[in-house]
Amino acid sequence: MQPSIHRPTVIQIDRDALRNNYLQARQLAGSEKRIFAVVKADAYHHGAVVVAQILHELQVDGFCVATIDEALELRTAGITEQILVLGLIPVQQAPLAAQNDISVAVGDLTWLQTAAFTVRSPLKVHLALDTGMGRIGFREKSALVEACQFLKTQPQLIPEGIFTHFATADELSDDYFQQQLAQFEFLIQDLPITFENVHCANSATSLWHRQAPGNLIRLGIGLYGLNPAGSHSKQLPYSLQPALSLTSQIVAIKQLPAGQSISYGATYTTEQPEIIATVPLGYADGWQRRMTGSKVLVDGHLCPIVGRICMDQLMIKVPKFYPLGTLVTFIGQQNQQTLSADVAADYGQTINYEILCNLSDRIPRKYIN
């Protein structure tokens, strides 16, 4: 999608915030653990290539993505660090991954057997273990051992890693986390092959369960300055700096009389004369209709979105007439007031990840620092 660079709606990304979040995670992890930055979904809409370039300068160990296309985008941009595709790829794409030195997640023996006959270059694999997420990976020890035995006979398949993913590492209760942890430790114990990387730590695990085994951390939402647990958070060991802000401007403003309905469905009607401003951002930009009634910042005032959010525009109630071009903040700071992705997520009954990933490519990004 073509970014709408001639519209005042913009996403701003602070490079210094990204650097700060990474360096603090690096310090907490210690020298014995490697860090792979998770830049899937276009780095949670922060721009995968730019984020990767920033972290390359800081000597990050590698990157995680969700699809082989995301990995190829990084390779095309000149990123040379290790790249792991966390999602399963069709076995027909194994040669493409091998040719581009892209590591892949594997969750069954049949995939390995088929890939062994098709790749001509070394293919680095990370065996995925399903310890309770119910998503991808080996569940039984016998099947895992059989896969390891097969890898021993196939020199073109490089056993680069073995991993799992926790479902509740960000929860206050760690009962289910401990169940998954015990299962992971059982599955990786006494395998007939040694893996270069053993990893189970996402951002939440690296923050609150540093005793978890492994020598690699997959740093995701924490890199972008957001708490994995959202606003209902456990205490953080260091301060996170949100890297993304979302702003627009007032493009129209008028006073409406009492009894005037606003937007589709006429779901909002003024109870008295109200000053209504129009802002060029809508659900096609990722600010979904469920955010109707949430607040934005104008001149340091919290102003509600009134009437249903439209595809490309929304309306807000403001305390006075403002000049056209007045700044409207959806995510970020304004006059010592802050609206975070967590605030938006709480209102939308979702998580901060989804707020970021919903933002459309139609909104241009501006990088600072």
pLDDT in tens, 120-174: 999 999 999 999 999 999 999 999 999 999 999 999 999 999 999 999 988 888 8
pLDDT at residue 233, as a whole number: 66
- Residue 168 in any domain: the answer is yes
pLDDT tens digits, one per residue of 302-316:
999 999 999 999 999
pLDDT at 92 over 70: yes
Nearest to 94 by CA among 63, 119, 57, 117: 119
The yes-or-no answer on residue 283 being catalytic is no
Distance (Å, whole) CA 29 – CA 217: 8
Q: Answer for the pair 143, 127: CB distance below 8 angstroms, yes or no.
A: no
**Set 238, 254, 264, 366: catalytic member:** 264
Domain count, the chain: 2
The yes-or-no answer on residue 141 being catalytic is no
Q: Answer for the pair 38, 18: CB distance below 8 angstroms, yes or no.
A: no
| Residue 288: Cβ within 10 Å count | 17
**Average model confidence (pLDDT) across the chain:** 95
Tell me the C-alpha to C-alpha distance, in Å, between residue 366 and each of 43, 247, 291, 309, 342.
15, 11, 24, 25, 22
pLDDT at 232 over 80: no
- Residue 10 in any domain: the answer is no
Same domain for 202 and 333, yes or no, is no
Asked whether the whole model's pTM tops 0.85, one would answer yes
User: Which phi and psi (to 5°) does residue 210 adopt?
Assistant: -70, -10
Q: Which two tokens stand for residue 201?
A: 């730590």
**Set 33, 40, 124, 295: catalytic member:** 40
CATH of the domain at 285: 2.40.37.10
- Residue 367 in any domain: the answer is no
Q: Could you tell me which residues are annotated as the binding site?
A: 135, 311
pLDDT at residue 338, as a whole number: 94
The range of the structural domain enclosing residue 257 comes to 244-339
pLDDT tens digits, one per residue of 309-349:
999 999 999 999 999 999 999 999 999 899 999 999 999 99
pLDDT at 1 over 90: no
Same domain for 217 and 249, yes or no, is no
Q: Could you tell me which residues are annotated as the binding site for substrate?
A: 135, 311
